[in-house]
Amino acid sequence: MSKKTFAIESSVFSTIHETEVFGQGVQAENKERQEDLNGRKIEAYSGLIASINGVALVKGNLPKYARDKVWEGLTVDAGVSKAVAKKYLENSVGAVRHFDFPSQATGSHIEARLIEDGIDSEAKLAKIVKGDDVDTPEMKVCREFIGGFTTRKDENGDRVPGIFKLGKHTDENDPFAAVERLRTALDEAERVARAAIEAAAAAEDDRATYADVMDALDAA
C-alpha cells in the first residue's frame, strides 16, 4: 500500500468516536457494561488495525504519511484526545508488528483472531503488543517467586527478551530455593484442597443417608 493508495474509511473513526463516547458513561464497577465496552474497544481497534495492516512498516513504525493520516483521523474525525489517540496508534501498530495478519484481513477477521487469542480488552492488547505475555494466574505466581525476562525493542521495533530479573522471593545466592518453596506450598495447598473436597463429599453422603432413613420412617 503506497502513499497514493493509502486511505481509511470514515466508519473506522466513527466507530472509535462512538466507542469512546460510550466509555465515558461506563463505571468500572459495572461489570456488564465494562465487558460491553471491552468488546466495543476490540471492534474499534480491529477496524483501525485492518486499515493499516497493508502498510509496510519502517523500523517497526508507520511511515510518516500514514501516521499523519491516522493521527488526523483520530484527533479530528474521531475527536479523541491526544493521549487516547496515542494509545490507539501505538497499540494498533504494535498489533501489526506482533501478529501475522493476512494483508487482506478485514476488521472482522482481525477481531475474531484477537478474541481467539484471548485478547478481549484494550489492556490485554496493549500488554501483548508491548511484548508482555498475557499471564495466567499460574504464571503470575511463578514470576513473583522465580522471576522473568524484561523486554526491549530491537531495531525493527519488535519486543525481544532483555535481562532476567529475580522474583520478589528469590535469593540471588540460591535462585532455585524459591522454586522448592513454591513446589512445597503448592503440594500442601493441593493436599488441603483434596481433603476439603473429600470431607464435603462425605458430609453430603451422610446427609443423603439421614434423608433416606427419615423417608423410610415416614413411610412406615
User: HSE (CB half, 13 Å, CA atoms) of 9?
Assistant: 12
The verdict on residue 156 lying in a domain is: yes
Please report whether residue 204 resides in a domain.
Answer: yes
Q: Look at residue 69 and tell me if it is in a domain.
A: yes
> Among 97, 132, 167, which residue terminates a domain?
132
Which residues share a beta bridge with 54? none
The answer to whether the beta carbons of residues 133 and 109 sit under 8 Å apart is no
Could you tell me the pTM of the whole model? Answer: 0.61
Q: Tell whether 2 is covered by a domain.
A: no
Q: Which band of pLDDT confidence, cut at 50, 70 and 90, is reported for residue 67? A: very high
83, 116, 132 - which closes a domain:
132
107 and 20 together in one domain: yes
Q: Give percent above pLDDT 70 in the chain.
A: 75
Q: In the structure, what pLDDT confidence band is assigned to residue 156 with cuts at 50, 70 and 90?
A: low
Residue 158 falls inside a structural domain: yes
Which residue range forms the structural domain that includes residue 140?
135-220
Q: Which residue is listed with cell 503506497?
A: 2
Using the Cα atoms of residue 14, residue 15, residue 16 and residue 20 in order, give the sign of their dihedral. Answer: positive
Mean pLDDT of the chain: 81
Grid cell of 42 as nine digits? 476490540
Cα–Cα distance, 37 to 32 (Å, whole number): 9
Q: DSSP letters along the chain, please?
A: --TTT----HHHHHHHHHHHHHHHT--TT-HHHHHHHHHHHHHHHHHHHHHHTTSPPBTTB--HHHHHHHHHIIIIIS---HHHHHHHHHHHHHHHHHS---TT--HHHHHHHHHHTT--SHHHHHHHHTT-----HHHHHHHHHTEEEEEEE-TTS-EEEEEEEE-TT-BTTBTTHHHHHHHHHHHHHHHHHHHHHHHHHHHHHHHHHHHHHHHHHHH-
Confidence of residue 212 (pLDDT cuts 50, 70, 90): low
Give the number of domains in the chain: 2
Residue 49 confidence (pLDDT) above 90? yes
Query: All 3 cell numbers of residue 213?
Result: 432413613
Backbone angles phi, psi at 103, to 5 degrees: -60, -30
User: Would you place residue 135 in the very low, low, confident or very high pLDDT band (cuts 50, 70, 90)?
Assistant: low
1 part of a folded domain = no
Query: How large is the average pLDDT for residues 94-121?
Result: 91
- Is residue 94 located within the same domain as residue 151? no
Give 85's pLDDT tier (boundaries 50, 70, 90).
Answer: very high
> Last residue of a domain, which of 132, 149, 176?
132
Distances (CA, A) of 193 to 13, 24, 142, 205, 207: 51, 43, 20, 18, 21
164 and 87, same structural domain?
Answer: no
CA pair distance 141, 121, nearest whole angstrom: 22
Distances (CA, A) of 152 to 89, 129, 164, 175: 19, 12, 12, 24
Domain co-membership, 161 together with 111: no
Query: Is 142 contained in some domain?
Result: yes
